[in-house]
Amino acid sequence: MQNESSIKVWSERWRLGALSTPELVQIGLISVIISLVFMLFHMLGNTVANVGSRSAFQWMFARWQDTISFGADYSHGYFIPFVSLGVIWYKRKEIFSVGVRTDSRGLAVVIFALVLHWLGAKMQQTHFSLASLVLLIWGIPFYLFGWELARKLIFPCSYLVFCIPLNFMDVMAFPLRMFSTTLATGMLKGLGIAAVQSGTAIFIPSMPSGLDVADPCSGLRSLLAMTALTAVYAYFTQRTLVRKWILFMASIPLAVFGNIARIVTIAFVSEAIGGKLALGIYHDYSGYILFTASITMMVIIGSLLNLEFREVVKKCKSVLLRRT
């Protein structure tokens, strides 16, 4: 009796004891596909000669830790797969309730992804290969299970793009430095501080040697982290696709202007207290404070986007009518 009850519990909880032969075959085929995809990108995913590894995964992990060429701007990449898995787990009931049917459009996505991987290998552009991996992760379920499932996997799969170190983003560091320096200098002058800009450096009376807006202060790191955070926040909180995109796009100016506010406050603290404290403790910890402020603004904007303004206007009118 004890063995029978244990088998029953095992079947009800995990269904492994109740799987039919076609289901077991399907699980086996999916396992083979996952293994082949992993081996493809682990053994033939990277063709850059001076890296010392053929694995696209190892190339990606190295870029996440790289503090020379990327300035650890992609250190948030470790968390992205867990967020995608969390979204799938949260939506698991909707995902498992969809109808199953093969879709040839998914096969076209798989073929395109494999071609993109081949091009990335030929051009020694590993980020192209990683982009093709994201397409494969979405395209294979699209082909095997149909569009209804693929539609629900669009966000968790596309969110994996934030894992990919994008080389062209590194080019944006200098324009962001110049933009931040110019606006920060203008704001300091508006506050009555005699600020002079020279390239990406700001000279103020309390800092005769200048406040240099270096690559780590360009705002690229906070921009990448802020967009990744806002994307998942908008997905869960906004009710329409348009509102989700509006909130996501708002993360870009929030991150940029948050970084400008940091530069301004460093100069302001230097004038008020002293350059040593401003470039020491405050410089090291102000980024966390202003990033928190950017997150707060993100939540406020998201709340405003969720307001039904017609209902708000009606309530205001009804309150005014009652008072009159």
Note the pLDDT tens digit of each residue in 172-208. Answer: 777 788 888 888 888 888 888 888 888 878 888 877 7
- pLDDT of 1 reads 43
- pLDDT of 110 reads 92
- pLDDT of 18 reads 62
Q: What is the distance between the alpha carbons of residues 72 and 168, in angstroms, rounded to a whole number?
A: 15
DSSP state of 102: -
Instruction: Decide: 220 and 73 in contact? Cβ < 8 Å.
Output: yes
- pLDDT of 134 reads 93
Q: What is the distance between the alpha carbons of residues 192 and 195, in angstroms, rounded to a whole number?
A: 9
Give the rounded distance of the alpha carbon of 255 from its chain centre.
Answer: 13
* Amino acid at site 39: M
- pLDDT of 19 reads 63
Residues 22-45 as b or e (16 or more Cβ within 10 Å = b):
eeeeeeeeeeeeeeeeeebbeeeb
- pLDDT of 218 reads 63
- pLDDT of 234 reads 94
Mean pLDDT of 288-312: 83
| Structure tokens belonging to residue 305 | 């986007």
**Quick one: pLDDT band at residue 72, thresholds 50, 70, 90?**
low
Mean pLDDT of 228-247: 92
**Residue with tokens 């906070």, as numbered in its chain:** 222
Spell out where 65-213 has E strands.
196-198, 201-204, 207-212
**Quick one: pLDDT band at residue 58, thresholds 50, 70, 90?**
confident
- pLDDT of 8 reads 42
Q: At a CB cut-off of 8 Å and minimum separation 6, what does 284 contact?
A: none
Q: What is the distance between the alpha carbons of residues 301 and 295, in angstroms, rounded to a whole number?
A: 10
**Quick one: pLDDT band at residue 243, thresholds 50, 70, 90?**
very high
Mean pLDDT of 123-150: 90
- In this model, does residue 117 exceed pLDDT 60? yes
| 213 phi, psi to nearest 5 deg | -85, 90
Instruction: Write down the mean pLDDT value for the chain.
Output: 81
Mean pLDDT of 103-129: 89
Mean pLDDT of 235-257: 90
| Structure tokens belonging to residue 28 | 């086996």
- List the Cα angle 46/50/51 in 5-degree steps: 50
- pLDDT of 265 reads 85
- pLDDT of 76 reads 81
- pLDDT of 217 reads 64
- pLDDT of 4 reads 45
Mean pLDDT of 101-109: 89
- pLDDT of 237 reads 92
* Amino acid at site 256: V
Q: What is the distance between the alpha carbons of residues 251 and 11, in angstroms, rounded to a whole number?
A: 46
